[in-house]
Amino acid sequence: MGSESTIFIMISAVLCQASAVLSPVVIEEQYLFQPGNPGEVDAYRIPISIMCPDRSILAFAEGRKYGRGDYGSKFLAMRRSKDSGDTWTTTEFVLDDNPSVDGLNLGNVIIDYYNNSVIIVYVHAHTHSELYMVKSLDWGVSWGKAIALSDRNPKLKGYEWTAGPGYGIQLKYGPHKGRLLSCGHGMSLELREASCLYSDDYGDTWHLGGRVLGIPFNHTKNTGDFAPGESQIVEMYDGTLIMMSRNTEAFHCKCRIFSKSYDAGESFPVSDIWMVDDLPDPNVCGSILHHNGILYFSGLDSRTSRTNMTLYWSLDNGITWPGYLPIYLHNSAYSCLTAIDNNNIGLVYEKGNNGHIAFSKIRLHA
């Protein structure tokens, strides 16, 4: 029997076993970021989490110094867990944009498994939009100097685009194995789109990748127009990429936009863009995770308000979403999923409307 057939059988067996007993339950929850000290932060928003190869979980957020709004000075805050999310280090600040009127905005966090590094891609939008990255070679203990992506690719100078928010990925399969992908959206009203940047040299140089263009193209979008926004991407076992995007102008329905790439993020065919009616979208960022053959989504179970944080799952690569688990029934917003181990995943999310970010540990199987 060939190796590819063996792998297919193994994956099928794991998926069948996992889906048969899938019964997620929240086993632990705690606040990670709360307004106040350190830094006298007014509110925390835009949570991101990721598991490092040393088994530590890194959680990030924007520490908004003077208000909850998108514009204003911010810290990039981080906490670390070395015991699968049970306990966490105190809050530390990776970046400080000082008194900028509109400073740093998260962002993607990406693990480079080939070079044992963590990369944060973010935008600084004080006087004009500029993409930056900062890298850690010791799993977030220390961080290097911020580098403008346009230093190596002038096409990115002033590029009106922001990553994520959420995690980016490094490809594990296919001819572009090792490629880094940072996906997000165009920020201008005329060019509202979901799109990706990619790097084939471990973050030294970044290039423009595939785009899911808004319609009408190059025009300001209005309610009902196709305007994909904040996005996150995952890789399937066959190398296909699935991108989930915010449906900013409620095209077709107040639900999620999904798209596929078959060439490592360099294009997203129009024939493989679809709307997922089963996943409500009250115009807010969500998160997607591919874990042990199952696709998970965290978002809000409401089409009209930012309430009811919920975990959904799909057993057919995002076509149908028959399962769901309510996480928090009240005000909630942005979220990010991360795999912890075979039987547990983590969820960081904006809980309440006072600038708090919580971490939920979810056991997948009884």
Residues tagged active-site = 70, 230, 334, 350
Q: What's the burial of 306, exposed, middle or buried (CB within 10 Å: 0-12/13-18/19+)?
A: middle
Spatial separation of the C-alpha atoms in residues 192 and 54, rounded to whole Å: 38
- Residues 297, 321 contacting (CB under 8 angstroms): yes
Beta bridge partners of 318: none
Q: What's the burial of 349, exposed, middle or buried (CB within 10 Å: 0-12/13-18/19+)?
A: buried
Closest CA to 135 of 152, 116, 156: 116
Q: Say how many C-beta atoms besides its own lie within 10 A of residue 42's C-beta.
A: 18
Amino acid in the structure at residue 289: L
Output the furthest CA–CA distance in the chain (Å, rounded): 63
Spatial separation of the C-alpha atoms in residues 227 and 89, rounded to whole Å: 39
- Residues 92, 75 contacting (CB under 8 angstroms): no
Q: What's the burial of 63, exposed, middle or buried (CB within 10 Å: 0-12/13-18/19+)?
A: buried
> If residue 255 lies in a helix (H) or strand (E), which one and from where to where?
strand 255-261
Phi, psi angle pair for 20, to nearest 5°? -65, -30
Instruction: Outline where the chain has alpha helix (H).
Output: 3-20
> If residue 74 lies in a helix (H) or strand (E), which one and from where to where?
strand 74-81
Q: Which long-range contacts (CB under 8 A, 24 or more apart) does 132-136 make?
A: 132/104, 133/203, 133/206, 134/94, 134/95, 135/203
Within 8 A by CB and 6+ apart from 324, the residues are: 301, 310, 311, 312, 313
